[in-house]
Amino acid sequence: GESVGLHLPTLSVQEGDNSIINCAYSNSASDYFIWYKQESGKGPQFIIDIRSNMDKRQGQRVTVLLNKTVKHLSLQIAATQPGDSAVYFCAENQGGSEKLVFGKGTKLTVNP
């Protein structure tokens, strides 16, 4: 569901490590999922998406995994860099809806 009033969970990693950011989605009818990256003071930027007929999709240094059985989505970032420090949001498109429902976000901090 929507995440308006919640403080963001945080994840701190060392530069060069792999990062995994998790997201539990709410609706079993959701058929499209996206990860966004939001840097401070900026609008969210699209990272990667996946449709429900897939369970894995890879981009440049990022991988999204979808487990429909437990309604879980994850974003893996390989060789995390300081520029990856940001808040990451997952979003789901619930079947039949024109809206994306955003998760609560995770703040990723990359330590040099």
Partner 1 sequence: SQTIHQWPATLVQPVGSPLSLECTVEGTSNPNLYWYRQAAGRGLQLLFYSVGIGQISSEVPQNLSASRPQDRQFILSSKKLLLSDSGFYLCAWSVRRGYGYTFGSGTRLTVV
Least distance to partner 1 from the beta carbon of 5, Å?
7
Tell me whether residue 93 is exposed, middle or buried, using C-beta atoms within 10 angstroms of its C-beta: 0 to 12, 13 to 18, 19 or more.
buried
**Nearest distance in Å: CB 110, partner 1:** 18
In the block, which residue shows the tokens 């990693």?
Answer: 13
Q: Answer yes or no whether residue 85 interacts with partner 1 by CB under 8 A.
A: no
Residue 37 CB coordination number (10 Å): 21
Interface characters, 22-61, with partner 1 (x: CB under 8 A): ---------xx-x-x----xxxxxx--x-x----------
Answer yes or no: are the C-beta atoms of 90 and 25 closer than 8 Å.
Answer: yes
Residues that bind partner 1 (CB under 8 A): 2-8, 31-32, 34, 36, 41-46, 49, 51, 89, 91, 93, 96-100, 102-105
